[in-house]
């Protein structure tokens, strides 16, 4: 391993080791510190596991505290699944790969894989077969880094499959397409921007990657749609043919014409039409129509259920009111009978015999 590799982590390790003044034990302590630093700098080989699609030699470098995480990623079968139109890394001659793990991509990694932008989660140098991944919030575990690693592996694979003869939108779009980094959130974000700005061109996509993170994100999304449309022309076999012709030195337009019989301009027109069909106003209105139909059906369903519940409740209230009226009628009838009986007794004349104990005059 080169000197650039061994420089990572060396100052930090030495700074944490307290070197005493020159005493009989001082040379031993300094030597131990230097030996420890060199030992941490030398990468230890990963446990050999038979993972299909994995290169014969994969080294995890960088922060020693992340070696276990790196080994877990390197032995994950999902990371090495065949790539569309390429297959595995060994299929295109990549038998060795370096994976660097760090908390800051702007330092601590080889020059070829350094990246100054703080929002970048991973970067790759296809020529040197090196990948660097940044750990941080949301990217600590294997699950968070798996798609990022597969994205960068796709860059390395495409570089080998095309001999490095590709444009920026093609490599970024293919990495997005191969890693499956696409969600409904991405679709809605692309649709909102597309409705505001309209269609773009493949050349404009490349320019987006040179700007701030928001424009770069749009570049990734638009690149994905372009590669998706390219794959729709001929599937994996079509992609493989295009990549092979690029490796042979053909331009992208020549590769398109020889593979699909279309020019780059015709492909761009087809791609723009697919953007309009998928993310334009008609698509949005059709989705809105389906949405409002669904809302109407839901409202009608709720209204019918509420009407049934209201009828049931109203019938129960009517039954209760009828019972109350019947009880009131019975009570009134009983009270009337008792009142009439009392009046009848009050109207009866006194008896002729008078008081039995009183004598006549």
pLDDT digits (tens, 9 = 90+) for 95-134: 999 999 988 888 878 888 888 778 788 999 999 999 999 8
Q: How far apart are CA 354 and CA 303, in angstroms?
A: 80
140 pLDDT tier (thresholds 50, 70, 90): low
Confirm whether pTM is higher than 0.85.
no
pLDDT of residue 335 exceeding 50, the answer is yes
The domain in which residue 274 lies consists of 165-279
Quick check: is 356 in a domain?
no
pLDDT of residue 93 exceeding 60, the answer is yes
pLDDT > 90: what percent of the chain? 35
Q: What is the pLDDT of residues 196-253, one digit of tens each?
A: 555 578 888 887 777 667 778 888 888 999 999 999 999 999 999 999 999 999 999 9
- Looking at residue 331, its pLDDT comes to 75
Quick check: is 361 in a domain?
no
The domain boundary residue, chosen from 127, 162, 197: 162
Per-residue pLDDT, averaged over 289-308, amounts to: 60
pLDDT of residue 346 exceeding 70, the answer is no
Average pLDDT, the chain: 75
pLDDT of residue 9 exceeding 50, the answer is no
Identify each DSSP E strand in the chain by its residue range: 57-62, 96-102, 122-125, 130-134
Q: What is the pLDDT of residues 45-65, one digit of tens each?
A: 445 467 999 999 999 998 888
Per-residue pLDDT, averaged over 136-141, amounts to: 61
339 pLDDT tier (thresholds 50, 70, 90): low
The 10 Å Cβ neighbour count of residue 298 is 10
Are residues 116 and 99 located together in one domain of the fold? yes
The domain boundary residue, chosen from 134, 162, 190: 162
Among left, alpha and beta (phi > 0; psi -120 to 50; other), residue 241 is: alpha
What is the number of domains present in the chain? 4
Per-residue pLDDT, averaged over 164-169, amounts to: 94
- Looking at residue 198, its pLDDT comes to 56
Q: What's the residue count for the chain?
A: 361
pLDDT of residue 149 exceeding 80, the answer is yes
The domain boundary residue, chosen from 248, 279, 310: 279
- Looking at residue 110, its pLDDT comes to 87
Are residues 169 and 265 located together in one domain of the fold? yes
Are residues 32 and 84 located together in one domain of the fold? no
Q: Which helix (H) or strand (E) holds 357?
A: none
The 10 Å Cβ neighbour count of residue 190 is 21
The 10 Å Cβ neighbour count of residue 143 is 11
Quick check: is 332 in a domain?
no
Quick check: is 59 in a domain?
yes
DSSP 29-53: HHHHHHHHHHHHHSPPPPPP---TT
Are residues 303 and 233 located together in one domain of the fold? no
CB 127 within 8 A of CB 158: no
Quick check: is 334 in a domain?
no
Are residues 73 and 140 located together in one domain of the fold? yes
**Strand pairing category for 122-125 and 57-62:** unpaired
Q: How far apart are CA 278 and CA 224, in angstroms?
A: 13
Beta bridge partners of 61: 100
CB 99 within 8 A of CB 74: yes
For 251-259, the CB contacts below 8 A with 24+ separation are 252/166, 252/167, 252/170, 259/234
- Looking at residue 238, its pLDDT comes to 96
Are residues 171 and 204 located together in one domain of the fold? yes
194 pLDDT tier (thresholds 50, 70, 90): low
Q: How far apart are CA 168 and CA 159, in angstroms?
A: 11
Query: Which residue is associated with the tokens 């409202």?
Result: 299
Quick check: is 32 in a domain?
yes
Are residues 157 and 190 located together in one domain of the fold? no
Contacts of 291 (CB under 8 A, 6+ apart): none
Are residues 203 and 96 located together in one domain of the fold? no
Are residues 96 and 193 located together in one domain of the fold? no
Quick check: is 296 in a domain?
yes
The 10 Å Cβ neighbour count of residue 258 is 13
Are residues 243 and 175 located together in one domain of the fold? yes
Output phi, psi for 30, to 5 deg.
Answer: -65, -40
Quick check: is 265 in a domain?
yes
- Looking at residue 340, its pLDDT comes to 65
């Amino acid at each position: 391993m080169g000197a650039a590799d061994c420089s990572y982590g060396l100052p930090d390790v030495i700074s944490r080791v307290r070197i005493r003044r020159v005493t009989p034990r001082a040379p031993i302590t300094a030597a131990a510190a230097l030996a420890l630093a060199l030992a941490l700098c030398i990468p230890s080989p990963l446990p050999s596991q038979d993972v299909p699609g994995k290169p014969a030699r994969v080294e995890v470098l960088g922060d020693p505290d992340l070696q276990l995480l790196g080994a877990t990623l390197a032995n994950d079968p999902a990371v090495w699944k065949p790539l569309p139109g390429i297959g595995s890394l060994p299929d295109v001659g990549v038998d060795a790969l370096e994976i660097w793990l760090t908390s800051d991509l702007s330092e601590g990694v080889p020059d070829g894989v350094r990246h100054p932008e703080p929002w970048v989660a991973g970067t790759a140098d296809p020529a040197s077969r090196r990948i660097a991944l940044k750990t941080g919030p949301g990217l600590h575990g294997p699950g968070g880094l798996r798609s990022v690693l597969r994205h960068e592996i796709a860059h390395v694979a495409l570089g080998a499959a095309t001999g490095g003869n590709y444009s920026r939108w093609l490599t970024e779009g293919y990495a997005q397409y191969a890693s499956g980094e696409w969600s409904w959130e991405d679709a809605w974000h692309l649709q909102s921007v597309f409705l505001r700005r309209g269609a773009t061109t493949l050349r404009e996509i490349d320019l987006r990657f040179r700007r701030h993170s928001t424009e770069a994100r749009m570049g990734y999304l638009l690149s994905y749609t372009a590669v998706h449309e390219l794959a729709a022309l001929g599937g994996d076999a079509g992609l493989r043919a295009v990549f092979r012709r690029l490796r042979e030195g053909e331009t992208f337009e020549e590769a398109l014409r020889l593979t699909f019989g279309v020019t780059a301009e015709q492909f761009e027109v087809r791609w723009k039409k697919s953007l309009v069909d998928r993310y334009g106003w008609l698509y949005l209105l059709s989705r809105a129509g389906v949405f409002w139909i669904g809302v109407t059906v839901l409202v009608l369903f709720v209204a019918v259920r509420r009407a049934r519940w209201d009828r049931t409740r109203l019938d129960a209230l009517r039954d209760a009111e009828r019972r109350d009226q019947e009880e009131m009628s019975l009570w009134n009838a009983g009270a009337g009978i008792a009142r009439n009986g009392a009046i009848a007794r009050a109207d009866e004349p006194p008896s002729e015999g008078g008081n039995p104990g009183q004598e006549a005059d």
